[in-house]
Chains A and B, each alone.
Chain A
Amino acid sequence: MPSLDDLRKRITSVKSTQKITKAMKMVAAAKLRKAQENAEKGRPYSEKMNNIILNLSAGVSDPQSAPKLLVGTGKEDVHLCVVLTSDRGLCGGFNSNIIKKTKNYFEKIQKEGKSLKIITVGSKGYDQLKRQYGKSIIENISFKESKNINYFDAAKVGNLIIEKFQNEEFDFCTIFFNKFKNVISQIPQAQQIIPLENENKNKDKDEKLESNYEFEPDEDEILSNLLPKNISTQIFKAMLENSASEQGSRMTAMDNATRNAGDLVDKLTIQYNRSRQAAITKELIEIISGAESL
């Protein structure tokens, strides 16, 4: 049984932890609103970009001459995985969810006997992956210094990927990030960006062919210019989704922590009061029985 003094100390320490988690929750809530806004504002760009590429790729008749970024290298040997995580912890299952998803994917690839290359964006992902997959990690990027997510950071990652693709260092590229659904649920996602995968491709094809675009310069040139941009755009989108998810996840985690701390304080207070009462009763009994024996 801990002494009264110990209990009192514990209660104070839990209370001050609660204050911290509460403050973190509020900060996360404020940041979440901004991040969500940004994610929404960024959506039209990537949607439009996707549309244009769809229209263009519908017009590509000969897959042989099409840019490799669109149709792939024709081989399936080397997979590049770009894992987007946060730079800070204390955000619940945010990072571990992505890592879990990527590890499943890595195992699948290695079982198939293909080789694996990893780029981590955000230091938490690197920390969690380096023990098991340290040899496969070829690059570790972190944007701790930039306060806001901006397009230039995304373009840096995008250009790196394109450079590696042009040096034929890999055949497939997949990005992993958390898609922001709402504050409570964030869904870890894998999205293949090289070669470009699009579910709507076939569905849209028929109607899109009707609109005859005028291209200047010709289609191939536009496409080969546009695809690298699209990769940066996709990464930027993923980063925006990720930051909204991170704040959402942190908010929920800190909310839970605050509530748990509250429960703990209640429990400890009851225990404290009981043992205090027990001590008083004990003293009383001692006095009474002492008086009786006289």
Chain B
Amino acid sequence: MDQFNLEIISPEKSFLTKSDTEEVVIPAIEGYMGILKDHIPLISFLKPGIIDVRSKNETLNYYVDDGIVEFKDNTLSILTSNIFDLKEMDKNKVDKIVKDAEEGLKKENIKDHERYILDQKIEVLNSIKSN
């Protein structure tokens, strides 16, 4: 399969750079989106979810809270402030994020958009836990 470049950047550092990516599935705000080589230029947002990076000999999974995605000239850039490798997520960490999110939901003046994001978050994290 054709390969393209991937870079995941967090404010503190360059989180991951790969040049042999074959397919990346990202949790875009309007639904999961699979990206292959020669995708048209794209800018989108992420919702809480799992980024699935597939290359020839390995598959990497990351959990993200939010982020911005740009695809251009066969380079996929993901900017995110909150990203964890799924392998390194332990139960306590997940529980804590879920708890925070649930507390956020209880607030009264919450907007629909925020509620949607938090719901998503809890759903994704619970699915991680059950695996």
Answer yes or no: B77 CB below 8 A from chain A CBs: yes
Chain B 62-97 interface 0/1 with A at a Cβ cutoff of 8 Å (1 = within): 000000101010000101010000000000000000
Instruction: Give chain B nearest CB distance to A208 CB in angstroms.
Output: 11
Q: Once the chains bind, are A44 and B28 in contact (CB under 8 Å)?
A: no
Number of interface residues of B (CB under 8 A): 23
Q: Once the chains bind, are B29 and A45 in contact (CB under 8 Å)?
A: no
Residue of A nearest to B41 (CB): A213
Q: Which of B11-19, B49-57, B121-129 contacts A (4 or more CB under 8 A)?
A: B11-19
The verdict on A229 contacting B43 (CB below 8 Å), with A45-B11, A48-B77 known, is no
Q: Once the chains bind, are B42 and A214 in contact (CB under 8 Å)?
A: yes
Residue of B nearest to A52 (CB): B70
Chain A 11-46 interface 0/1 with B at a Cβ cutoff of 8 Å (1 = within): 000000000000000000000000000100110111
- In the bound complex, CA of A278 to CA of B47 (Å): 83
Q: Which of A38, A151, A154, A222 contacts B43 (CB 8 A)?
A: A222
Chain B residues, CB < 8 A from A236 = 11
- In the bound complex, CA of A172 to CA of B44 (Å): 28
What secondary structure prevails in chain B residues at the interface with A? strand
- In the bound complex, CA of A215 to CA of B45 (Å): 9
Answer yes or no: A233 CB below 8 A from chain B CBs: yes
Chain A residues, CB < 8 A from B68 = 49, 52, 226, 229
Chain B residues, CB < 8 A from A225 = 45
Answer yes or no: B120 CB below 8 A from chain A CBs: no
Answer yes or no: B30 CB below 8 A from chain A CBs: yes
Q: Once the chains bind, are B43 and A217 in contact (CB under 8 Å)?
A: no
Q: Once the chains bind, are A216 and B11 in contact (CB under 8 Å)?
A: no
Instruction: Give chain A nearest CB distance to B15 CB in angstroms.
Output: 10
Residue of A nearest to B17 (CB): A44
Chain A residues, CB < 8 A from B79 = 45, 48-49, 52
A210-256 CB contacts (< 8 Å) to partner B: 211-217, 222, 225-226, 229, 233, 236
Residue of A nearest to B72 (CB): A211
A179-224 CB contacts (< 8 Å) to partner B: 211-217, 222
Answer yes or no: B40 CB below 8 A from chain A CBs: yes
Q: Once the chains bind, are A211 and B42 in contact (CB under 8 Å)?
A: no
Answer yes or no: B36 CB below 8 A from chain A CBs: no
Chain B residues, CB < 8 A from A216 = 28-30, 33, 42-45
Chain A 39-70 interface 0/1 with B at a Cβ cutoff of 8 Å (1 = within): 00110111011011001100000000000000
Answer yes or no: A166 CB below 8 A from chain B CBs: no
Q: Once the chains bind, are B45 and A45 in contact (CB under 8 Å)?
A: no
A244-275 CB contacts (< 8 Å) to partner B: none
- In the bound complex, CA of A233 to CA of B79 (Å): 11
Answer yes or no: B105 CB below 8 A from chain A CBs: no
Q: Once the chains bind, are A212 and B11 in contact (CB under 8 Å)?
A: no
Q: Once the chains bind, are A212 and B41 in contact (CB under 8 Å)?
A: yes
Chain B residues, CB < 8 A from A229 = 68
Q: Once the chains bind, are A42 and B29 in contact (CB under 8 Å)?
A: no
- In the bound complex, CA of A215 to CA of B13 (Å): 26
Residue of A nearest to B10 (CB): A45
Chain A residues, CB < 8 A from B33 = 216
The verdict on A151 contacting B45 (CB below 8 Å), with A48-B77, A216-B28 known, is no
Residues on A facing B (Cβ under 8 Å): 38, 41-42, 44-46, 48-49, 51-52, 55-56, 150-151, 154-155, 211-217, 222, 225-226, 229, 233, 236
Known pairs A56-B43, A155-B81 / 7 extra A-B pairs, C-beta < 8 Å: A38-B13, A52-B68, A55-B43, A212-B41, A216-B42, A217-B45, A236-B11
